[in-house]
Amino acid sequence: MIDLINPLVENDRDYVLTEDQISEYRLNGHILLRAVCAPEEVTSYRDDIREVMSRRFPAPPPMEERSIFHKAFLSLSNTWNDEPTTRPYIFARRFAKICADLMGAEAVRIFHNQIFFKEPGGGPTPWHQDHYYWPIDTENMCTIWMPLVDISPEMGALTFATGSHRLPFLDNMGISEGGQAHFDRIITEEGLPLVNHVMQAGDATVHAGWMLHTALGNGGSYTREVSAVSYYEDGARVFPEEKMNPARISDLAVCVPGAKSGDIAASTMNPLVYKKS
């Protein structure tokens, strides 16, 4: 098991949250945080990410040949494990502490990290809840989502259905065309306010695992480049078998290898990156 309490980013600093921001996150299920990273930090990380993506996707297939999921973005997961240049930011204490403080968790582990490149002309990301895919049995699970370039909603900034994280389980649906219409109907029936943002590189949003969210296609002239890290409260267990769907079974094998239903969720793929004490 890998436990990494100390920050790996040189000159890492805390991002201090106010009580109002913590209350906003818990009420709404999402929050926008400005200038989580300084411009020079973003530039350094963006250069590393671009090199990784260009090497891993040297010739992406044409849009018309892709599935609905792959039209939305080119993506990589768990790059910290096989792309060492991405580790410093993924393991940053700053990000982990933000998420721990917002959730009220004493300590957090990484579930996975993801890189999303939505190319110009790339398709929309349909409505979905991340926790549909996640096999971890806790409400204290969230994602910090940071653009590495300036973006607007028209380029694919996330749109959140505010308060949806507090609704009962909405349905056993992931990213799909059918899911889009289903969740549109729920949003209308529940009167959920929709929120999105114009974001600068280094800003970040944090959203809860059950937060319903979507993104428009990229109508801009350059790629929407995003780095995201998902965390969960240390000590959480894997869902019991009756709550495991095929997506969760798949994610469990990749993100918490060796764990079974009911086990404490802690493996070589889940470094402990923040502990309050």
Average pLDDT, rounded, for the chain: 92
Judged by DSSP in three states, 250 sits in: helix
For the stretch 142-201, pLDDT in tens is 999 999 999 999 999 999 999 999 986 777 766 766 778 889 999 999 999 999 999 999
Could you tell me if 92 and 179 are in contact, meaning their C-beta atoms sit under 8 angstroms apart? no
**Is residue 100 pLDDT above 70, yes or no?**
yes
Handedness of CA 160, 161, 163, 164 (dihedral sign): negative
**Model pLDDT, residue 1:** 40
For the stretch 234-274, pLDDT in tens is 999 999 999 999 999 999 999 999 999 999 999 999 999 99
| Cα(73)–Cα(262) distance, integer angstroms | 33
pTM of the model: 0.93
| Cα(228)–Cα(234) distance, integer angstroms | 19
Task: Describe the crossing of helices 93-103 and 19-28 by its angle, rounded to 10 degrees.
Answer: 70
Say how many CA atoms lie within 13 Å of 145 toward its Cβ.
26
| Cα(240)–Cα(259) distance, integer angstroms | 12
**Is residue 4 pLDDT above 50, yes or no?**
no
Kindly list the structural domains of the chain, giving each domain's residue range(s) and its CATH number in brackets, ordered by start: 19-275 (2.60.120.620)
| Cα(171)–Cα(158) distance, integer angstroms | 21
| Cα(253)–Cα(173) distance, integer angstroms | 20
List of residues 6+ apart from 18 with CB closer than 8 A: none
C-beta atoms surrounding 153 within 10 Å? 17
Output the six-digit token pair for 196. 């999105």
